[in-house]
Amino acid sequence: MRVFNSLSRAPEAFIPPQDGRIIMYVCGLTPYDSAHIGHARAYVSFDIIKRYLIKRGFKAYHIQNITDVDDKIIKRCRETGADPKKLTEQNHSEALELFGRLNILPADVYPKVTEHIPDIIELISLLIKKGAAYETETGVYFDISAFPAYGVLSGQNMEQIRAGSRFEVDESKQDPADFALWKKTKGEIVEFDSPWGRGRPGWHIECSAMSRKYAKRTLDIHGGARDLIFPHHENEIAQSEAADGRKFCRYWMHVGFLTVGGEKMSKSLGNFITLKQALTTSTPAALRLFYLQAHYRSPLDYDEDVLESMEESVERIFNSLGLIREACEGKGPVHADKEFREKSDELIKQFHKHMEDDFNTPEALASLHGLLRLANAHVSGKHDCEQLLKVKTAIDDMLWILGLEENRKPAIEEKSAALFALVEELGGARPENAGEALDILIAMRDAARNKKDYKTSDRIRSRLKEIGVILEDKPSGVRWKLA
């Protein structure tokens, strides 16, 4: 297996530890606001990496921190009067619920900064003792001159780094590029006692302290979005290796940017999409499949038209799998089909070959689709039940690795009563659930339009809008989303 290591900026053979226990540290949320589709892309990417490692027989120990102390959190609380603890807990709990809907496996531990202040203080004290950090009237800073390899991850030289540090000019620092380990404060919303007075930790030291506490050795994989390479991950390497004298992490992995309409998400541009919003219009499986269309290191542009096509792709995948499962249940004489066996075995092999090549999901998906098409063509005639069962098992494994589950419609059950009442008002049969009620109403609207009864069709559309369901007429058919 080969992975692209951001540290060497090249693909490398992945050499697992002797005990087969792989320790992954993935930078978690700063929960000052709701999780967005960019967060989801990163965590889906690492979820697939984790799933594949598990399927390969490794034990994956996954650490994902919660940065519940940060400038953005403090700013939001000042603006809104919110309690920082309640704000961060509420946003993180909501994010985990949404990640669960996306079928992202939970981390083994979610350490919070606020619960690890003693560990952070211990690490800062060690850095001071080793001469790699110093105290000033404003805080405690890491001395980058104490770590000659500084810049190894980002590839920047010290002139570039210092130029980029000018916006954080602090006359008390020995070097403009030295970064804060502890920020001294007085009467701030969030602050803690320390040997250097009241204050709070700098951003970078938090991850070093928590990975140090839970990993207890060199990390195998450290991941996050591409924009964390510098300064965050660069600083983690410097402070961690300066403190412990050992390699901090063996493989650094970074996810490409997600844009909307070709631009970075921004509330001021009106293209900021929360994960909660995305899951009102897209099923979890379709959203995951959308992310998988691009390699995890490549940029990806959010496109609702492409997402609609993903809904159809998901439906085809599980319809095809259903046909294969039905065929496997049939009994009959063993009919060995040499050509089918060779072609299907090759496609199964290709799927894993692509996943072994730095988790190349676009190519792996092509192998999965090819296998589904081959199997579907095979079941239409006299089929090889023994090989078909092997193919079904392989497809089930592939779908588990990719985290794709049966298509689930967005949650609309809270609108059941209103939808049932509208169906009854229009003389339709009583539905079993909200989804069925919507199907009936859409069919009734289509029938009215076919009869040129636009008054009825417009009435159904308007009433659904009042309920909170928007109908959209697309070339592929009628789509609906929650308002």
Name the residue ranges covered by the structural domains of the chain.
2-277, 282-402, 413-482
Which residue, among 309, 275, 306, has the nearest Cα to 100 in the 3D structure? 275
Q: Give the residues of the chain that fall short of pLDDT 70.
A: 163-171, 330-334, 407-411, 475-476, 483
Residue 22 near residue 219, CB atoms below 8 Å: no
Which residue, among 190, 195, 202, has the nearest Cα to 232 in the 3D structure? 202
pTM: 0.85
Estimate to the nearest angstrom the gap between the alpha carbon of 20 and the chain centroid.
24
- Residue type at 405 in one-letter notation: E
Residue 127 near residue 208, CB atoms below 8 Å: no
Q: What is the pLDDT of residue 293?
A: 96
Which residue, among 464, 370, 477, 369, has the nearest Cα to 422 in the 3D structure? 464
Sign, CA dihedral 92-294-481-407, equals: negative
- CA-CA-CA-CA torsion for 25, 27, 32, 33, nearest 10 degrees? -100
What's the CA gap between 184 and 116, in Å, rounded? 18
Angle among Cα 224, 107, 288 to the nearest 5 degrees reads 65
Q: What is the pLDDT of residue 322?
A: 87
Q: What is the pLDDT of residue 149?
A: 95
Q: What is the pLDDT of residue 46?
A: 98
Q: What is the pLDDT of residue 167?
A: 46
What would the pLDDT profile of 98-131 be if each residue is shown by its tens digit?
999 999 999 999 999 999 999 999 999 999 999 9
CATH number, domain 2-277, options 3.20.20.105, 3.40.50.620, 3.30.1200.10, 3.40.50.2000: 3.40.50.620
Q: What is the pLDDT of residue 476?
A: 58
CA-to-CA separations, 356 to 14, 104, 256, in angstroms, rounded:
9, 20, 19
SS3 428: coil
Residue 8 near residue 253, CB atoms below 8 Å: no
State which H helix or E strand residue 367 sits in.
helix 361-379
Residue 209 near residue 119, CB atoms below 8 Å: yes
Tokens of 113: 């900064």
DSSP assignment, residue 431? P
What would the pLDDT profile of 347-399 be if each residue is shown by its tens digit?
999 999 999 999 999 999 999 999 999 999 998 878 898 999 999 999 999 99
Backbone angles phi, psi at 426, to 5 degrees: -90, 0
- CA-CA-CA-CA torsion for 190, 192, 196, 199, nearest 10 degrees? 0
Which residue, among 88, 90, 83, has the nearest Cα to 69 in the 3D structure? 88
CA-to-CA separations, 259 to 16, 47, 62, 209, 290, in angstroms, rounded:
34, 21, 27, 32, 13
User: Who contacts 69 (Cβ-Cβ below 8 Å, separation ≥6)?
Assistant: 84, 113, 114, 190, 200, 201, 206
Q: What is the pLDDT of residue 332?
A: 60
Residue 184 near residue 138, CB atoms below 8 Å: yes
